[in-house]
Structure 1
Amino acid sequence: MTQTHDFTGKVAFVTGATSGIGRATALAFAKAGAAVTVADVSEEGNLETARLIEEVGGRVLAVRCDVSKAEDVKAALDRTIQTFGKLDFAFNNAGIEQPVAPVSEIEDEDEDFDRLVAINLRGMFLCLKHQVPLLLRNGGGAIVNTSSGAGVKGIAGQAAYASTKHAVIGMTKSAALDYAKDGIRINAVCPGIIDTPMMQRFTGGTPEGLARVIAQEPVGRMGRPEEITAAVLYLCSDMAAFVIGHAMVVDGGQTVG
């Protein structure tokens, strides 16, 4: 991908950075010149992402972080400030999927609905809550939250997941209004069907499962993580200076109509 952004001297914080969209975006920030904190519950995956960033000459901090825990989020951001001195960008990307099931079959215990809410929604809230003061101290910045195509339409068998992703958009739009005058731009990106480990789990890794999801894409293929990365970096750049509270859908036409 041709590099069009110069983030030299900037600092980015990326959650869910161990694979897929998060890893691709962390690498793209580094290639654009930013120092990057990669924060994820998987220490092994975090270290691999950090290694890939170091290979391209980037500055990186790897921090274990469970976004559903306030103390983890605050500690990861504190270490970012201690290491790099400030925060300019945040990509709140950590999230989990839901097994396909109608709403009456979704368990209301921690392993199902409550866990989805804890990570996909509470995690987003905690990140915003602790990132905004750092951006205010820095005189502004940009935050991008990962929602989903499931955040702008209903999807059968995904009531719990879709509810968290709809809520992310509502939180994004409201928080954007809270801080627009302070030079903080908060937006969301809504990926469609993207070729990531999460999507491989969702399809069951079978040719039939793959064909089923690709059939939902008017373009006839899954998206690439880098295609979401391009949107995230745009939303963090000065090119998007007038973009506030937007939910940018990047989904190959899946939600059109």
Structure 2
Amino acid sequence: MRLKDRVAIVVGAGQSPGEGMGNGRATALTFAREGAKVLCVDHNLASAQETVEMIGVNQGTAVAFKADVTKGDELEAMVADAHARWGRVDILHNNVGVSLAGGDAELLDITEEAFDRCTAINLKSCIFAAKHVLPIMRAQQSGVIINISSMAVITTYPYVAYKATKSAMVSFTEQLAYQNAQYGIRANVILPGLMNTPMAVDTRARTFKKSRAEVEAERDSKVPLRKKMGTGWDVANAALFLASDEASFITGVTLPVAGGASVRRG
């Protein structure tokens, strides 16, 4: 019960179609298991509700909330709902992100529309969610913000918008950390590596017209540790540590969760 009586907002608590468990859903389940009340936010309300029902099976507390994270007023409403419902906000976990599914491409092929869409989902949402939660956390003199970036930041990655926005998220998290430390607020960013999630694997299988098994095998072969991708639970457990009091002196940190890929730069 490392998060007992705390209130967490998990943005991206549903998941893409496909097999396995996404990072956001795994994190919502983990936070609830550890005692947090969780607002499960997603643009797909049915998917968020599925997460809530999974939490309820284990007697956890959670509510689904529908939001288009590219719209500031909906992010403001999200924060207001959690605060009105439970009286505080202790954790903001920004998990949303899109690359190929948003039309991302290599530089010579990317369109302005795709770039704007990816930027709004990946970066704008993270910034404005933080904007709306900070006044509450500052008043509390406590709070944790966890942003989910990607190992695409420090390794080769061909698609423009995802790499650029996820890199910007790291700098923004560092800014959050040093500008809010005086208020007792911590901000850290996680870089997931090759993960076996619906967004990562099933989206690629559909896009490149391959079987899921082919995509899995190709990605597994690139992971130094045991030649096996991580799962959403690996990201969730890292987020749990950063959200808990065990990480009370950790802020402004970029944490790779990547099976050793972070030591192989470039």
Q: TM-score range by the shorter chain?
A: over 0.9
Q: Indicate the residue corresponding to 2:77 in structure 1.
A: 75
Q: Indicate the residue corresponding to 2:173 in structure 1.
A: 172
Alignment partners' CA distance in 1, 2:49 and 2:111: 33
Contact 1:97 1:198 in 2 (8 A): no
Q: Deviations over 1:65-118 (max 9, x none)?
A: 111100110101111111111101111111112267421111111xx1111000
Give structure 1 regions of 4+ aligned residues with deviation exceeding 3 angstroms: none
Q: Indicate the residue corresponding to 1:57 in structure 2.
A: 59
- Counterpart selection for 1:210 from 210, 216, 219: 216
- Counterpart selection for 1:253 from 257, 260, 264: 260
Contact 2:230 2:258 in 1 (8 A): yes
Contact 2:104 2:118 in 1 (8 A): no
Residue 7 (str. 1) matches residue 3 (str. 2): yes
- Greater CA drift, 32-41 or 89-98: 89-98
Q: Indicate the residue corresponding to 1:201 in structure 2.
A: 203
Structure 1 counterpart of 2:168, which letter?
A
Q: State TM-score, norm by structure 2.
A: 0.90
Structure 1 counterpart of 2:6, which letter?
K
Q: Indicate the residue corresponding to 2:242 in structure 1.
A: 235
SS of corresponding position for 2:146: strand
Shift of 1:15: 0.5
Q: Indicate the residue corresponding to 1:152 in structure 2.
A: 154
Q: Identity over aligned residues, as a percent?
A: 34
Q: Indicate the residue corresponding to 2:110 in structure 1.
A: 106
Q: State TM-score, norm by structure 1.
A: 0.93
Structure 1 gaps of 5+ residues are none
Q: Indicate the residue corresponding to 2:19 in structure 1.
A: none
Shift of 1:122: 0.4
Alignment partners' CA distance in 2, 1:29 and 1:70: 25
- Counterpart selection for 2:30 from 3, 6, 28: 28
Structure 1 counterpart of 2:164, which letter?
S
Structure 2 counterpart of 1:215, which letter?
S
Alignment partners' CA distance in 1, 2:163 and 2:252: 19
- C-alpha RMSD over aligned residues: 1.4
Contact 2:104 2:160 in 1 (8 A): no
Shift of 1:130: 0.7
Structure 2 gaps of 5+ residues are 16-21
